[in-house]
Structure 1
Amino acid sequence: MNDISTIESMRECAIRRAIGPTILLGSGTYFDFEDPENSDITIEDVAYGLAFEGRNSGQSYSRILRKRVFYSVAEHCVRMSVAVPEHLALQALMHEAGEAVCGDMNAPLKSLNPSFREVEKRCEAAILKKFGITITDPVEIKRADLRMLATERRDLLPWMGERWGIDDHEVSPYDFEIIPWTQDVAAEAFLARYAFLTGRV
């Protein structure tokens, strides 16, 4: 390949990364939704992406504080990682990794968008693989996620006791109460928990 061909090839690659189905991450790298397996992403990208992503479509209302609040996906993950058995803690911390790049589409809307679910699952799998994480017990992780939702419904939504789909699973809320952290606190807590669980303290 001659110099002109090399330059053209590099230019085409740069254009694709800038205007293709990609996003620019806080670390300065591009994440490609058509090629997540070969996209660079750092643990900081994951932590801050999740910390600035609101659970409940931003519709959280604190029963304890009696006001609207911001509650992040990162905090959800940190709290869940502490609640599960130790051997599942890292898996619980990273179980929403795909949302760091895909956002947190709420479950009712996601059920109407199977193609989005496919993209999110592929991105999640690619990110988990990059960090060497395998979900070894998806049933237990799902159960813990449902218990987190029950806890969040109790503490962070103006819930009046209506029956939800999660009630079919007979899960109970966790004992702790949630008073949400700020985005920066959630991101730092996520990074600290990751460092602790991976021995990178």
Structure 2
Amino acid sequence: MKKHVLPLTMIGLLILAWILAFPKLPEQMPIHWDVNGEANGFASKLNAMFSTLGIMVILYLSMVFLPKVDPRKTNYKYFSKSYNIILNAILGVLFVINILMLANAIGYDVPIGSIGPLVVGIIFMILGNYMPQVRSNFFIGIRTPWTLSSDEVWKKTHRAASKIFFFGGLVMILATFAPVSWKVPVLFTVIALTIVAPYIYSYLLFKRNL
């Protein structure tokens, strides 16, 4: 039960924050910003509340129940600690984003555009740090046809991907302090590398092991 305390506490605190802030929120509030910090997406405060809280609740429930239906569920016991850390880290980032969004809607000057790359970078670094410990499964990690068909390919791919994610996240964090014109190219480059490179690497490993 201890592993559920932190995520449920974050969800409970966020519900409380929304309840307290709700009367002070404008009817239409910003929920998305570009890299310049300009709001480019809006929603009614009721829709914003249900959608943002819903994402956290669905994510938590998914991470709790998906291992129970995974055909390789026995592997989860080998990386349960890392699994919970990844879940709490992602929920923590969503919690912070929600609090900043509420603060911005109430009227506080929150530099959302600068915080975006920082938040994504932190997630990438956390994923990179714990990725080598993730065992073969169907729901989390680099799931390609080649990693799922070979434990060796899975292990080597995740070791390589962990470095890509970690240093990619570090670059994203540093991009927070870069000129605005640099942020979009940096973000797209890092995201593209983290998606494409492990996929190609897993295929090359598989072909080499044939």
Q: TM-score with structure 1 length normalisation?
A: 0.30
Q: Which structure exhibits the higher relative contact order, with contacts defined as CA atoms closer than 8 Å and separated by 6 or more residues?
A: 1
Q: TM-score with structure 2 length normalisation?
A: 0.29
Of Structure 1 and Structure 2, the greater helix share is in 2
